[in-house]
A and B are shown apart, each in its own frame.
Chain A
Amino acid sequence: MGASIHSVHRKIWQTLGAIKTGVILLILVVILSAAGTVILQRPATDVDEMQRAYSPQVLRLLDGLSLTDVFHAWWFILLLSLVSLSIISASIQRFPNAWRFFSRPYKSPDESFRKALPHHKLIPIQDEEAALSVTDRVLQKAGFRPERIVRENSFSLFGERNRISELAVYIVHASLLLIFLGGIADALFGWRGFVTLTRGQQTSQVDPQKGSRRTLPFAVRCDGAGQENYADGSPKRWWSDLAVLKDGQVIQRKQIVVNDPLVYNGIRFYQASYGRTGKIDRLILNATQRYGQGSKEIAIGLGETLPLDADTTVRLAEFIPDYVVGDGQVYARSNDLENPAAHLVVESKKSGQPLNVWLPPIPGLEQNASSPYSFEGKDIQMAYFTGLEVSHEPGQWAVWAGVVVMGLGLALVFYFVHVRVWAVPVRDARGQLKLWIGGTANKNKDVFEHRFRELVEQVESELKISVQADAEAPVSALAGR
Chain B
Amino acid sequence: MAQVARVEQQPAATGSTLVVMVGLGVAFLLFMAFLNVVKSGNLLNDSNLLYAALIFYVGAGTLYLAFGITGTPSYIRFASLSTWVGLLATTGAVARRWYEAGHPPFASIYEMLLMFVWTLAVLTLVAEKKYGVKVIGTVTMPVAIVGVVLMQLLRTEVHPLVPALQSTWLHVHVTLAMLAYAACALSFALAMMFLIQDKMKTETFLAATSLFTVATYVGVLTRFEKWGGLSVVAWNPEEKSEVFLSKGVRLFVVIPDLGWMLLLVLAAVAAPSVLYLIWRKTHDVRLLDTANKAVFLSILLQVMALLFFVLRARDGRYTSLDADGLFQTSLAASPFILSGIVGGIFVSLLYLLLLWRRDDLQRMLPSADELDRITYKTIAIAFPLLTLMIAAGAYWANRTWGSYWSWDPKETWAAITWLVYAGYLHMRITRGWRGRLAAYFAILGFAVVMFTFFGVTYLLPGLHAYA
Which A residues contact B (CB, under 8 angstroms)? 19, 22-23, 26-27, 29-30, 33-34, 36-38, 41, 44, 71, 169, 183, 192, 230, 232, 234-238, 257-261, 268, 270-272, 389-391, 393, 396, 399-400, 403, 406-407, 410-411, 414, 446
Contact = CB atoms under 8 A, between A and B. Distances in A.
A260 B427 CA distance: 42
15 contacts: A27-B423, A38-B460, A41-B407, A71-B412, A192-B402, A230-B160, A234-B162, A235-B162, A235-B163, A238-B163, A272-B401, A399-B394, A407-B387, A410-B383, A446-B373
Closest 3 CB pairs of A and B: A258-B163, A37-B409, A391-B402
A236 B400 contact: no
Interface stretch (B183-191, B283-291, B341-349, B414-422): B414-422
A81 to B, nearest CB: 16
B402 A71 contact: no
Nearest to B159: A234
Interface in B380-439: 380-381, 383-384, 387-388, 391, 394-396, 398-405, 407-409, 412-413, 415-416, 419-420, 422-423, 426-427, 429-431
B374 to A, nearest CB: 10
A270 B460 contact: no
Contacts of A34: 412-413, 416
Contacts of B264: none
B416 A403 contact: no
Contacts of A410: 383-384, 387
B163 A237 contact: yes
Nearest to B169: A259
Given A23-B423, A30-B419, A410-B384, A259 B403 contact: no
A172 to B, nearest CB: 9
Contacts of A234: 159-160, 162
Contacts of B163: 235-238, 257-259, 271
Contact of A23 (B388, B395, B400, B427): B427
A40 B66 CA distance: 48
Contact of A71 (B407, B413, B456): B407
Contacts of A390: 402
A235 B163 CA distance: 7
Contacts of A30: 416, 419-420
A19 B423 contact: no
Interface in B63-105: none
A446 to B, nearest CB: 6
B166 interface: yes
B407 A261 contact: no
Contacts of B387: 406-407, 410
Interface string B144-178: 00000000000000011111101100000000000
A37 B405 contact: no
B427 to A, nearest CB: 7
A312 B51 CA distance: 74
A19 B167 contact: no
Nearest to A169: B429
Given A36-B407, A236-B163, A26 B422 contact: yes
A114 to B, nearest CB: 24
Contacts of A236: 160-161, 163
Given A234-B160, A414-B383, A270 B423 contact: no
A74 to B, nearest CB: 16
B416 A393 contact: no
B261 to A, nearest CB: 30
A38 B462 CA distance: 11
A261 B399 contact: yes
Interface of B: 159-164, 166-167, 373, 380-381, 383-384, 387-388, 391, 394-396, 398-405, 407-409, 412-413, 415-416, 419-420, 422-423, 426-427, 429-431, 456, 460
Contact of A414 (B380, B402, B403, B460): B380
B460 A393 contact: no
Contacts of A235: 162-163
Interface SS, B side: helix
Contacts of A38: 460
Given A36-B407, A414-B380, A260 B426 contact: no
A407 B388 contact: yes
Contacts of B161: 236
Given A37-B409, A230-B160, A407-B388, A259 B400 contact: yes
A270 B408 CA distance: 19
B395 A400 contact: yes
Contact of A393 (B404, B420, B429): B404
A393 B397 CA distance: 13
Given A26-B419, A37-B456, A183 B413 contact: no
Nearest to B170: A259
A29 B419 contact: yes
Contacts of A19: 426, 430-431
B164 A37 contact: no
Contact of B413 (A37, A232, A396): A37
Contacts of B423: 23, 26-27
A130 to B, nearest CB: 38
Given A258-B400, A393-B404, 7 more contacts: A37-B460, A235-B162, A389-B401, A399-B404, A400-B395, A406-B387, A414-B380
B203 to A, nearest CB: 30
A260 B460 CA distance: 29
A39 to B, nearest CB: 10
Nearest to B392: A403
A192 B397 CA distance: 14
B348 to A, nearest CB: 29
A22 B456 contact: no
A230 B162 CA distance: 10
A390 B402 CA distance: 7
Nearest to B409: A37
Contacts of A411: 384
A261 B381 CA distance: 34
Nearest to A31: B416
B179 to A, nearest CB: 15
B324 to A, nearest CB: 22
Contacts of A41: 407
A22 B422 CA distance: 11
Contacts of B399: 259-261
Contacts of B167: 259
A270 B164 CA distance: 11
B415 A33 contact: yes
A183 B406 CA distance: 11
Given A37-B409, A396-B404, A399-B404, A407 B160 contact: no
Contacts of B396: 259
A257 B164 CA distance: 9
Contacts of B401: 270, 272, 389
A259 B405 contact: no
A389 B373 CA distance: 49
A82 to B, nearest CB: 14
A345 B340 CA distance: 71
Contacts of A183: 405
Nearest to B248: A49
Contacts of A27: 423
Contacts of A258: 163-164, 166, 400
A169 B425 CA distance: 11
A49 to B, nearest CB: 8
